[in-house]
């Protein structure tokens, strides 16, 4: 039995090609720092959800909405057409771009954990011997 299903292999190939297309052919400066994390393809290959993140922005929430709107507009058709020229598939799935919030969520959790480790005693009780070590 194969380790990965066909849709997983197609999703990986589409992720690789989309990352290259966004880097090389898209000239919009608002989409300069986009990273494609994952592409999930439906079993019938009709639709593909593309999860992306953008690094280096101060106003992440507003820029994410702008980028998602740009990517799901006319640019989705351009990218689908470009994929049809590079990927050997009978049908190219329609692309639906979704901002991936898991990276930001993980960073917030990591910050909270670091703060909790730095300040282990919050209630003013005496630390035990295990806490002092």
pLDDT digits over 80-106, tens only? 999 999 999 899 999 999 998 888 888
Domain coordinates in residue numbering, the chain: 6-118
Stretch 107-130: mean pLDDT: 75
3-state secondary structure 59-128: CHHHHHHHHHHHHHCHHHHHHHHHHHHHCCCCCCCEEEEEECCHHHHHHHHHHHHHHHHHCCCCCCCCCC
To the question of pTM greater than 0.85 for the whole model, the response is: no
CATH classification of 6-118 is 3.30.360.10, yes or no? no
CB 46 within 8 A of CB 94: yes
Answer whether residue 28 shows pLDDT above 90.
no
For strands 94-99 and 47-54, give the pairing.
Answer: parallel
Tens-place pLDDT, residues 30-56? 888 889 999 999 999 999 999 998 876
């Amino acid at each position: 039995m194969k380790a990965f299903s066909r849709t997983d292999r197609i999703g990986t190939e589409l992720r690789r090609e989309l990352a290259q297309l966004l880097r090389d052919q898209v000239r919009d400066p608002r989409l300069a720092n986009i990273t494609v994390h994952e592409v999930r393809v439906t079993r019938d290959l009709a639709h593909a959800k593309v999860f992306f993140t953008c690094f280096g922005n101060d106003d992440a929430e507003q820029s994410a909405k702008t980028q998602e709107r740009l990517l799901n507009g006319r640019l989705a058709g351009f990218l689908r057409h470009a994929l049809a020229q590079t990927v050997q598939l009978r049908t190219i799935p329609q692309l639906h771009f979704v901002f991936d919030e898991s990276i930001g969520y993980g960073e917030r959790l990591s910050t909270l954990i670091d703060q909790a480790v730095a300040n282990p005693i919050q209630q003013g009780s005496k630390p035990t011997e295990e806490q002092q070590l």
